[in-house]
């Protein structure tokens, strides 16, 4: 697919509009149930568009993405069953079907957040450790914004309804390891919609919190 400026702009506008419609749909009582069911579609669509615009297209990166997808799922599986990584929580119905209590789509969420923040942090004139730390912070910060919405729309729920600090520490550590792996790949990744998508997600989840205040 040719990545002309017009095409890139069109996709970014589409993603912004799609998320804005989703925000309104989730807020309105009459459409809340319908839009809750569309949450997996939003995630799949976002990752699909990211993959279309990723360069360079290499087998090595494809294998890396596959590994991160399953690593994200496995770490969540361990988190749910042990409570040691993120604290005690369980998944609801909004992220689709579950395998052993964990929706495989959560692996796609890890991949999307890692990819967008990795593209941002790779632009820093810094070594791999600092890039990985910045990327991990960006991932964890977005998770902090996601948590209130996730609980309200049955993506997952926490024991006693409280998000533990333990969760964010776990996110920082796991994110850092994933970021280090991302930046260890030799090729410079390029994607013109990765940074805009991260900003769209910040606005989407941040606006949800503001609306609920």
| DSSP labels, the chain | ----HHHHHHHHHHHHHHHHHHHHHHHSTTTHHHHHHTHHHHHHHHHHHHHHH-BS--HHHHHHHHHHHHHHHHHHHHHHHH-SSS-SEEE-STT---BTTB-THHHHHHHHHHHHHHHHHTTSSS-HHHHHHHHHHHHHHHHHHHHHHHHHTTSEEEGGG---HHHHHHHHHHHHHHHHHHHHSSSPPB-TTHHHHHHHHHHHHHHHHHHH-
In this structure, what are the phi and psi dihedrals at residue 205, rounded to the nearest 5 degrees? -75, -30
Checking if the pLDDT of 1 tops 60, the result is no
Query: What's the pLDDT band for 3 if we cut at 50, 70, 90?
Result: low
Checking if the pLDDT of 212 tops 80, the result is no
How far, in Å, are 31, 68, 88, 89, 152 from residue 166 at the CA level?
34, 22, 10, 12, 20
Higher pLDDT, 212 or 23: 23
Q: What angle do CA 164, 167, 173 make, to 5 degrees?
A: 150
Checking if the pLDDT of 100 tops 90, the result is yes
- Cα 182 from Cα 86, distance rounded (Å): 22
Angle between the N-to-C axes of helices 5-27 and 39-53, in degrees from 0 to 180, rounded to the nearest 10: 170
Per-residue pLDDT tens digits for 182-204? 999 978 899 999 999 999 999 99
Distance of CA 53 to the CA centre of its chain: 17
């Amino acid at each position: 697919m040719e990545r002309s400026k017009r095409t890139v702009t069109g996709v970014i506008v589409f993603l912004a509009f799609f998320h804005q419609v989703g925000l309104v749909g989730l807020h309105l009582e009459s459409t809340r149930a319908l839009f809750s069911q569309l949450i997996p579609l939003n995630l799949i669509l976002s990752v699909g568009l990211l993959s279309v615009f990723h360069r360079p297209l290499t087998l090595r990166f494809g294998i890396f993405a596959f590994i991160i997808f399953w690593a994200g799922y496995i770490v969540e599986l361990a988190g749910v069953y042990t409570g040691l990584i993120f604290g005690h929580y369980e998944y609801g119905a909004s992220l689709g079907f579950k395998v052993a209590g964990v929706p495989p789509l959560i692996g796609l969420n890890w991949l999307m957040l890692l990819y967008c923040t990795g593209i941002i942090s790779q632009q820093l004139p810094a070594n791999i450790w600092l890039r990985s730390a910045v990327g991990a912070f960006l991932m964890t910060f977005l998770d902090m914004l996601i948590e209130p919405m996730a609980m309200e729309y049955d993506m997952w729920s926490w024991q006693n309804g409280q998000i533990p600090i333990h969760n964010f520490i776990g996110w920082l550590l796991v994110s850092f390891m994933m970021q280090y792996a991302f930046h260890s790949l030799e090729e410079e990744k390029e994607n013109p919609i990765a940074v805009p998508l991260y900003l769209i997600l910040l606005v989407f989840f941040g606006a949800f919190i503001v609306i609920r205040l």
